[in-house]
């Protein structure tokens, strides 16, 4: 065998090996992409799977007689009577009429536990809405307890989970189901109420409004400040050490862990300036400092993308540097800045850790109505519910996550849309 063919066979041999290595390498890449995409799919699938049930909740239909003696109210205009009224007696008596042959204290208690302990107050609201019902009887769909809700949903799905129910309650639910007196209905409480210790009465409205107020404060502060800082750094800052120092600071702040901003808020805003805890105002202040670097960096990129010829033309026409910026650069860079602001707001909307430090983790039932009302925000609400031991809160948490994610998806797609729509290529 000649030397040349020997070499050739060697090369051919090694070539096959090298090609195999090439194919292997490609597969590594495909597997990596697959892992990433699978993570997205599993995460979303898991959340939707756990949470979709929370958008419907169990109601039980019972005949309620609005007996004046039972509640101890004969005049609906008397607020003292209303406050002292025994509203639970209405639900109790309705249950007793439905299941007359129940005796014994524990059975009665179990029977009463079929309904949510807020059902009585719902009846009160119903009565206030239509006062002519006083003394009459009507059939009402009433909110069921969270354990009943969990059981009924799991039973409908074919895998009953009755760990927290007694056998009798299971039988009663079976009877109600046969008579068509128990059903799943759209869970308006979830969207219309604040937080509650009772899962079936807990809603996200309070947290959503808290988030909204906090984001308003954040936007009002961080957008103007961020744009001003970006304009200064791009258009006016002299090239010196001070400017470099500002830039290093901004880049570092973008990478500082968010919890550190919480410590800052606690030490400076709360302990030094005595801003009240747990209010959207302080949440907005902390989130402003946190999102500012993002907004400055994107705004600078937007300003940079405006071609210098525009500036030169304006300067040539006799405009001052501020007129150039205000009349030409800023309007042209605005779409890019807005995109940056939306991305920054999405980041702020999903942020939890710094808000835990400044007391936005409190249990707040009331729906906030201003910037200085105690409030919580959506991600913190999710954190609080995820920590709750009740099984029904798992469903609620996942549903709240779905709401939060839909807000984020809307914000991010609108940012992408805005960029595509308004961005100008020079």
Partner 1 sequence: MQTINILFLLFGLGLFGFYLGRGRSRAIANPLGGIRQLHSLPSYYGLHTALWCALPSLFILGFWLIFNEALINSIVMSSVPIDIAPIDTASYNLLLNKVTNIASGVMPRDGQGAGVVNAADSLSSLRVTSRWSMTLLLLVLAMAGLFWGWYKVSVDFRARPAVEKVMQNLLLGCACLAIFTTVGIVFSVLFESIQFFRTVPIYDFVFGLEWSPQTAIREDQVGSSGSFGAVPLFVGTLLVSAVAMFIAVPVGLMSAIYLAEYASKNVRTFAKPALEILAGIPTVVYGFFAALTVAPFLRDLGNSFGVSISSESALAAGGVMGIMIIPFISSLADDVITAVPQSMRDGSLAMGATQSETILKVVIPAALPGIVGGIMLAVSRAIGETMIVVMAAGMAANLTANPLDSVTTVTVQIVSLLTGDQEFDSPKTLAAFALGLMLFTVTLMLNIFALHIVKKYREQYE
Which residues 106-145 are close enough to bind partner 1 by CB under 8 A? none
Q: Which of residues 345-384 bind partner 1 (CB under 8 A)?
A: 346, 349-353, 356-357, 361, 379-380, 382-383
Non-local (6+) Cβ contacts of 51 within 8 A are: 395, 396, 397, 398, 399, 400, 401, 402
Binding residues with partner 1: total (CB under 8 A): 85
> Do 47 and 137 meet the contact criterion of CB atoms below 8 Å apart?
no
- Total residues found in the chain within this entry: 426
Per rule CB under 8 A, is residue 229 in the interface with partner 1? yes
278 CB burial (10 A radius; 0-12, 13-18, 19+):
buried
Query: Is there binding between residue 401 and partner 1 (CB under 8 A)?
Result: yes
Q: Is 405 in the site for partner 1 (CB under 8 A)?
A: yes
Q: Which of 66, 184, 72 is nearest to 125 (CA)?
A: 66
For partner 1, the closer CB: 141 or 371: 371
Instruction: Identify the residue among 48, 102, 170, 237 touching partner 1 (CB under 8 A).
Output: 237
- Residue 292 binds to partner 1 (criterion: CB under 8 A): yes
**Interface pick for partner 1 out of 7, 9, 16, 33 (rule CB under 8 A):** 33
The answer to whether 71 touches 86, Cβ cutoff 8 Å, is: yes
The contacts found for 260-263 with CB under 8 angstroms, 24 or more apart, are 260/354, 261/286, 261/287, 261/289, 261/290, 261/354, 262/286, 262/353, 262/354, 262/355, 262/356, 262/357, 262/358, 263/357
Subset of 251-290 contacting partner 1 (CB under 8 A): 251-253, 255-264, 266-268, 271, 273-274, 289
Residue 260 sits at the vertex; the CA angle it makes with 256 and 262, to the nearest 5 degrees, is 135
Query: Is residue 410 close enough to count as binding partner 1 by CB under 8 A?
Result: no
Which 193-212 positions form the footprint of partner 1 (CB under 8 A)?
none
Q: Which is nearer to partner 1, 114 or 346 (CB)?
A: 346
Structural tokens at position 143: 């909110």
Residue 301 in contact with partner 1, rule: CB under 8 A? no
Closest CB to partner 1 among 107 and 247?
247
CA 157 to chain CA centroid, Å, is 27
CB of 258: closest distance to partner 1 in angstroms?
A: 7
Q: Does 10 bind partner 1 (CB under 8 A)?
A: no
Closest approach of partner 1 to the CB of residue 311, in Å = 16
Are 63 and 77 spatial neighbours (Cβ–Cβ below 8 Å)? no
In the complex, minimum distance from the CB of residue 211 to partner 1, in angstroms, rounded to a whole number? 11
């Amino acid at each position: 065998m000649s030397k040349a063919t020997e070499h050739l066979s060697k090369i051919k041999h090694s070539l096959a090996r090298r090609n195999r290595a090439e194919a292997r390498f490609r597969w590594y890449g495909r597997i990596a992409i697959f892992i990433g995409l699978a993570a997205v799919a599993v995460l979303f699938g898991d959340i939707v799977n756990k949470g979709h049930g929370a958008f419907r909740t169990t109601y039980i239909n019972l005949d309620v007689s609005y007996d004046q003696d039972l509640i101890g109210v004969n005049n609906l205009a008397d607020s003292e009577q209303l406050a002292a009224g025994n509203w639970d007696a209405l639900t109790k008596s309705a249950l007793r009429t439905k299941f007359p042959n129940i005796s014994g204290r524990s059975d009665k208690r179990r029977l009463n536990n079929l309904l949510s302990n807020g059902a009585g107050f719902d009846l009160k609201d119903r009565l206030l809405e239509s006062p002519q019902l006083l003394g009459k009887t009507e059939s009402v769909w009433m909110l069921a307890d969270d354990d009943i809700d969990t059981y009924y949903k799991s039973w409908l799905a074919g895998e009953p989970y009755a760990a927290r129910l007694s056998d009798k309650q299971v039988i009663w639910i079976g009877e109600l189901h046969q008579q068509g007196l128990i059903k799943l209905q759209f869970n308006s409480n979830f969207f219309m109420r604040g937080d509650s210790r009772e899962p079936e009465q807990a809603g996200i409205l309070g947290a959503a409004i808290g988030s909204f107020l906090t984001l308003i404060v954040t936007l009002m502060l961080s957008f103007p400040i961020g744009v001003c800082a970006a304009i200064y750094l791009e258009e006016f800052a002299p090239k010196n050490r001070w400017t470099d120092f500002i830039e290093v600071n901004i880049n570092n702040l973008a990478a500082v862990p968010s919890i550190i901003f919480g410590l800052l808020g606690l030490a400076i805003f709360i302990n030094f300036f005595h801003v009240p805890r747990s209010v959207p105002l302080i949440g907005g202040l902390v989130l402003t400092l946190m999102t500012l670097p993002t907004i400055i960096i994107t705004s600078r990129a937007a300003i940079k993308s405006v071609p210098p010829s525009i500036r030169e033309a304006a300067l040539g026409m006799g405009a001052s540097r501020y007129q150039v910026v205000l009349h030409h650069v800023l309007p042209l860079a605005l779409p890019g800045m807005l995109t940056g602001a939306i991305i920054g707001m999405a980041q702020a909307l999903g942020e939890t850790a710094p808000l835990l430090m400044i007391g936005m983790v409190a249990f707040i039932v009331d729906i906030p109505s201003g910037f200085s009302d105690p409030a919580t925000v959506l991600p913190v609400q999710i954190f609080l519910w995820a920590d709750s031991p009740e099984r029904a809160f798992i469903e609620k948490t996942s549903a709240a996550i779905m709401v939060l994610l839909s807000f984020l998806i809307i914000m991010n797609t609108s940012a992408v849309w805005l960029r595509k729509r308004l961005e100008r290529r020079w």
